[in-house]
Every structure is written in structure tokens, then in C-alpha cells.
Amino acid sequence: MEEINKSAVYIDETVFDGQTEQGVELDYILPDYCPDIFKILSCSLTPKIVSYSVSSDGRLSLDGVVYIKVLYLTEGSSDVFCVDQRYTYSKLIDISKKDISAASVCFEMKQDYCTCRAVSPRRIDVRGAVSGRIRAESCREHALCEIPEGLQVRTQTVNCCGKTLYAQKQLLSSEEIETGSGGVAFIMDSSACPKVTDVRIVADKAVVKGSVVVNALYGLPDADTNGSSEAEKMTAEIPISAILDIYGITDDHVIMPSLNILDFELIPKSDSGIISCRLTAECCVKAWKAEKLSIPDDVYSTEFETEYLTNTLRLNSYPRTFSQSLTLKMNLAAENSEIRSVWDCRAEIKNPVFRINEDKNPEFSGLLCCSAYGKNTDNIPFYMEKQEAFQQIIPVSDINENSSAQFTARVTETDFSIKSDGAIEISALTELKGALHDVVTADTLSDITVKEDKPKAKSEEFALRICYTDEQSDCWSIAKAYNTTVKALMEENGIIDEQETLSGMIIIPTV
């Protein structure tokens, strides 16, 4: 790793880390072709990002949509009926007072709460709220102090990262998924899990390949009732790829690619068994390269009195990537009846946190939210959901209190089993990926004043002086104390290494 003298260093900084909230209200009257409501089975709010942009003055313009899904039962029937609605909104958020047009922005959208009640057999009232955590990061250039000519300068070597390279690209995909069934009444539940399978660097470009695994639980149509008494699962994998322009990226960089789903919707075709999938994905690539920088931290003049100020830089160390798979489990218990069959289950993680706990161990925590659809022994459909906090120690080495993590946590697969006591045990296979940085601190000069009206006093009576040093002295401290140059001191005493610890008699040349 070559040592580089630079006039500027690059510092990663978080310019915004906050939340946006949106209330959702829906007063819906059933159309004439829908049967009366007897019982609300489930209601969910699924927030997505339609589009967003960041202006040069630090304003985030956000267009969002909330997919509202209500499943209900009619009296004396085991058929499930569905109400699908969309709630759109826009937000304008001041995320920074700085120019961050090149910042990376990531979102974590979630449902906060949702209540649904049947005001009458023909009318539904939905109240709830969704929120999104917004995190914006930027790589800022920090100019080092300009040093006047003729001064003696000491530098320190710092091993850190160079400029963080970043690029993102939105991808639109539309696929027709064949379920193999005779028809699809409606989508009861769905999820989309993206994954990166390969990334290659070719001529200042990052070529990212991956896929999106789409899972859905859909109701089979009942021609007599227009509802659904049975449901089936569907899984499809949609390939996705992107080419991102990243000037200066090489194979020497540590690369962290990611795929995120901004918007996702499944539209069934009831008469053909085909489900149309429309999704908007965002491909992001971050890259870091190790550098060994020479940063000035002390200065003096042999001619004039000199004053200077310093400040402390907080730089990122060379990152260490990590990837862990873990299984999170939860039990869902039926309250009033026994479970006959389970159609499908879902799991997701909310509010993920990766940190060092009080015992100095890396810990992954958050909320595990699980749900299940099925039928009880009375042949009546049921829906159960539950969320609980979890904490798991992650076996990641070389991590300390000064480490910071950029990570993603996704449930990639969900399985279930019915236990002897009638409860459903849900197992969520979770993939935790990210990069760890340590904070490297370095003091550097911030302002230098050479007082040319205050020349240093010099004696012409002798050309050499002799001093005796202890074992704590080096060339720089002696040269500065006796107002000579490091080069002259080393030549006069036959010193080869400037960092060598000196002791005993030292000859001090006059300059």
C-alpha cells in the first residue's frame, strides 16, 4: 500500500437519520357484488416507495403508496373475501442543509399499527399509520491546511479508506407468473426478497446480477360465491441485473452491493391462473479502497515565531465484510379452536439493530413479526399474528466499541411446524450481511500563522551545540526545541531513521 500525500481527505458522514410518518384512513363501502361482512379476518397496511429524489439543497421529495388489504368472512360460510385499496401520499423532507446531491439514501418502511372495524355489514373503517426510517450518507471532501513554503513539517501515517465510491440505479420489472391453477381469486399475502448473486468490475463499471424471490398466498376462486374457501402458495424467482457507472472502481476495492425493493404489487388474473408482478427495485453499490495517508500534524519555522491550530479527523478504517445466517423462531398459539391445516406463514424483521452490548459482544436485535393463515377443525379460516423482541449474539471477530456497521437483515425463507400442544412454530431463516468500519482518529493542522514581525534570535558565536537526551526524544522534538532542521540533525549525527528514539549525546547544527 503506497503512502500518499494529499491536500484533502474524504470523510463519510451521516447527514440525516430520522423518520417520516403517515397516517392512513379509509372509509370503504362494499360494492353491490360483495357479500355482507360478518367477521374481519385480517387487515394490513403495506407501505412502499413509488419514487424519490434528492435536490442539491438537501430536500428529499418522496412519493409513497400504502397497499390496504382487508380479508373478511360472511355469516354461515367458510369463504374468504378480499378488499384491496391504495392510499397514496407525498412528502417533502429537509434532510440536510448541505449539498448532498451525491448522497446515498436508504429506506426502511413498516406498518406501525392498524385497526379495522365493520361499521355495518356493508361498510369498513380502517385507521392506522405507517412510517419509514430514512438514512442519508455522504462522502465529504475535507481540505487539509495549506502549509507555507520554508516551514518544517511533521507528518503522521494513517491507514484508512479513501473516497467512498457510490452508485445506485432503479430497475423496473414486469413479469407474468404462471401458478398452474385454474384461476386466482385474490392475493391474500405476498412478499419479495431480493438477493445479489454476482458482482463484477469491468472498466469503471459494476455489473450486478441477482434475483427477486416472490412468494404469495392466493385464494382459489369459488364460482358460486365469488370468494375463496381454499388457498395455495406460489413461489417464483425473477432474474434482475444492472450495470452501474462508478468512475475509479477497481478490483482492489472492497465492494458491497445490495438490492432493495421500493415498490411491489401482484395483480391476479382470475380466469387464467396468471399473476402479474410489477416491482421497482433499486441496485446500490458501495466501494472502499485502503489508503496510507501522510497527514501533517506539527509545524515550525527556523526563522520566525509560528502559531498553529489543530483539529481531529475521524476517518474510517478499511472495512471487513461479514455474512451470517441465523434462524429465529416464534410460537403462535390458537386461542379458541384447534388447528386443522396451515395455508402459509410469513415473517419479517422490524427495527433491526447491530451493536456491541454491555458484555462487549456483537449483538443483533429487533422485532420479529410472524403471521399465519389456515383453517381450524371447524373448517373456518383463521389468521394469527404476533411480534416479539429478539436478541442474538453474532460470531463476528475483530469488532469493538469503536466499530460501526452498515448492514442489511432479511428473512429469506420461512417454515413452520405444528407442535404437540397445537401451537405453530415458525422458523425464519435470516441473512445478515454488512461491512464493519473502525473509527481512526488523526490530529491535523487546521490553521498556521507565521509571525514575520517576530524573527527568532540566533547566535553566530558557534556553529554546533551539544545536548544530552533521554530515551523519550526523537529527531523532530530535538530539532524543534533547538530551532534546527530535521535533515541537518540527521546528517550531523548519522541518523538514518527519522522515527528512531534518541538517547545520549546529540550534536545540534546551527541553521
Cα dihedral angle (338, 341, 342, 343), rounded to 10 degrees? -140
Tell me phi and psi for residue 479, to 5 degrees: -60, -40
**String of DSSP letters for 162-216:** -PPEEEEEEEEEEEEEE-SSS---EEEEEEEEEEEEEEEE-SSEEEEEEEEEEEE
More confident residue, 460 or 20: 20
Choose among 343, 352, 429, 349: nearest CA to 384: 343
Specify the CATH superfamily of domain 457-511: LysM domain (3.10.350.10)
pLDDT value at residue 483: 86
Pairing of strands 8-29, 3-5: unpaired
**Look-up of cell digits 479527523:** 313
More confident residue, 318 or 3: 318
∠ CA 417-422-428, rounded to 5°? 30
- CA gap 354, 474 in Å, rounded: 43
Q: Where are the alpha helices (DSSP H) in 368-447?
A: none
Q: In one letter, which amino acid is 457?
A: A
Confidence of residue 138 (pLDDT cuts 50, 70, 90): confident
Residue range(s) occupied by CATH 3.10.350.10 in the chain: 457-511
Residue-wise pLDDT for 150-195, tens only, equals 889 998 889 888 889 999 999 999 999 998 888 899 999 999 999 9
- CA gap 479, 490 in Å, rounded: 9
Mean pLDDT of the chain: 89
Mean pLDDT to the nearest integer, 46-57: 90
454: cell is 517576530
**Are 124 and 116 within 8 A, CB to CB?**
yes
Full 3-state SS string of 292-318: EEEEEEEEECCCEEEEEEEEEEEEECC
Q: Is the pLDDT of residue 222 over 50?
A: yes
**String of DSSP letters for 31-57:** -TTSPPPSEEEEEEEEEEEEEEEE-TT
Mean pLDDT to the nearest integer, 248-275: 90
Q: Is the pLDDT of residue 242 over 80?
A: yes
pLDDT value at residue 1: 45
Burial annotation 130-152 (CB, 10 A radius, 16+ → b, else e): bbbbbbbbbbbeeebbeeeeebb
Mean pLDDT to the nearest integer, 270-286: 91
More confident residue, 32 or 98: 32
Choose among 181, 164, 239: nearest CA to 208: 239
Cα dihedral angle (433, 435, 438, 444), rounded to 10 degrees? -150
pLDDT value at residue 5: 58
Residue-wise pLDDT for 390-447, tens only, equals 999 888 777 777 788 888 999 999 999 988 888 899 999 999 998 888 888 899 998 9
pLDDT value at residue 357: 82
Of 169-183, 296-310, 490-504, minimum mean pLDDT range = 490-504
Mean pLDDT to the nearest integer, 362-373: 93
**Are 451 and 306 within 8 A, CB to CB?**
yes
Tell me phi and psi for residue 422, to 5 degrees: 90, -5
**Are 390 and 427 within 8 A, CB to CB?**
no
pTM of the model: 0.87
Q: Which residues pair with 326 in a beta bridge?
A: 430
